[in-house]
Amino acid sequence: MRTVEWHQNQVRMIDQKRIPWELALVDLPDFQAVAHAITDMTVRGAPAIGASAAFGMALAARQSNAETVAALLTDLQTAAQVLKDARPTAVNLAWAVDQMMKMAANGHYTHPDGVRDALLNEAQRIADADVAINQRMGANGAVLIQDGDTVLHHCNTGALATVDYGTALGVIRAAWESGKRFHVLLDETRPRLQGSRLSAWELEQLGISYDILPDTAAGYYMQKGEIKLVLVGADRITANGDVANKIGTYQIAVLAKENGIPFYSVAPTSTVDLSLATGAEIPIEERNKDEVLTPYGNPIVPPHFHARNPAFDVTPNRYLAGIVTENGIARPPFSDSLRRAVAGAQV
C-alpha cells in the first residue's frame, strides 16, 4: 500500500495521525484539502509531502474551470503558493510543485485539458520515481549495517514518510531483507512521537527487532557502547552538507561525534537545495505550542503554561560521516560530492 496515490480523481493517503491504532485512508477532493493534510500532518515526511503536493497540483488543474491554458496557469499559480505555504522547511514540497508548474508552462499545450492530463502523468511519475529512488538508496546504504549492530534511528523515515519503502528506514529494511540481523533503537521523537508511533509500527510489520527509547536516552546507550551507527532522514540539505531534520537530530549528531559513532543522513537528491549555501539559510517551521502542551489532545500541563515548538533543527556538516543518496554515499567535502550526486553522477 502506498502512502499517497491517485484514486478515482481524488488524492488518497494514509492518515498518519491514526497510526498505530488504526490503518485508515482519507480521500481528498481538492488541493486545499491536500494543503491542510500536509499542514496538520495527516501526511508527513519530505518525499511523501512532495508527492502529495504533486497530486495536489493535478487536483488543482481539474478543479479549475479555465477554458484557456493562460487562465489555467493563473489558477495553478494560486494553488502552487497555497501548497508551498503548507510546510516551509521540507524542500521536496517546493521542488515537486515547481516541477508541476514547469510541466504546465512548457508551451506544448494548446488546450487546458492537455495540461490537466500532463500534470496527472507527471504527478504519477514523481510518485513512481520516489519508490525506485528509495530502493536504490536502501541498497546503497545497506552496506553500512553489519550483523549484530545496534542502529539508532530518529523520527520516521520509512514507507510512511515516502510514497513507499523509505529513506533511512529504507536502508534498515534493505539490510534486513538482505539477510543481516541487527537491532534498532527508535527515539520516540517528541512532541508528535513519530518514532514510537510510526517507526515502531513499520518495524512491527517488517519483523525487524527494535526498542523505543525516550529521546533523552540516546546518549546513555552511546556511552555504553551499544550503538554502532546512527541513521536519520532529512527535510532539506544545503550545498555544503548541512542537514535540516526533525527536531532533536542535532543533539544526537553531537553525541554521536563525542562517542565516535558514524552518523549518516539518508535522502534523495530532490532534498538537496543547492541554492542555499549553509543551514543558516533554511527556514525552520515553528508549530503550535499545543503539540507540546496537549499532545494528541491529551493535556500534560495546565493550558496556560508557555511552550515553544520548533519542528526541525540543523545539523552542521562536520557531524556527518556521509549522506546516502540514490546515486551513492556522498562524503566530505559535501560541496563537491553533493553537487555531483544532484547532477546524476555516482558518488
Summarised one tens digit per residue, pLDDT across range 264-323 is: 999 999 999 999 999 999 999 999 999 999 998 899 999 899 999 999 999 999 999 999
The verdict on 194 and 225 lying in the same domain is: yes
Q: What gap in Å lies between CA 199 and CA 151, rounded to an integer?
A: 13
Burial string for 150-172 (b: 16+ CB within 10 Å, else e) reads bbbbbbbbbbbbbbbbbbbbbbb
Does residue 176 lie in a domain region? yes
CATH code of the domain in which 108 resides: 1.20.120.420
The reply to whether 324 and 251 lie within a common domain is: yes
Instruction: Answer yes or no: do 173 and 85 share one domain.
Output: no
User: Stretch 31-51: mean pLDDT, rounded?
Assistant: 96
- Residue 347: inside a domain, yes or no? no
Where in the sequence is the domain holding 74, given as residue range(s)? Answer: 4-134
Average pLDDT, the chain: 97
At residue 323, the pLDDT reads 98
* CA–CA dist 191, 53 (Å, integer): 25
User: Does residue 99 share a domain with residue 161?
Assistant: no
User: Are 83 and 103 contained in the same domain?
Assistant: yes
Same domain, 189 and 108: no
Cis peptide before 333 (omega within 30 of 0): yes
Where a domain ends, among 82, 108, 134? 134
CATH number of the domain enclosing 262 = 3.40.50.10470
Residues 130, 164, 235, 242: which is the catalytic one? 235
Domain boundary among 105, 134, 163: 134
Same domain, 49 and 150: no
pLDDT confidence tier of residue 235, bands split at 50, 70 and 90: very high
pTM as predicted? 0.94
Looking at the fold, whether 87 and 174 belong to one and the same domain comes out as no
* Contact by Cβ (8 Å): 38, 13: no
Tell me if residue 235 is catalytic. yes
Residue that terminates a domain, selected from 70, 105, 134: 134
- The pLDDT of 53-65, averaged and rounded, is 97
Could you tell me if residue 201 is inside a domain?
yes
Residues 147, 97 share a domain: no
Report angle CA 332, 47, 85 to the nearest 5 degrees.
105
d(CA 173, CA 213): 20
Q: How many Å is the Cα radius of gyration of the chain?
A: 20
**97 shares its domain with 209:** no
157 and 41 both lie in a single domain: no
Residue 252 and residue 283 in one domain = yes
**Residue 108: predicted pLDDT:** 87
pLDDT above 90 for 1: no
Provide the domain count of the chain: 2
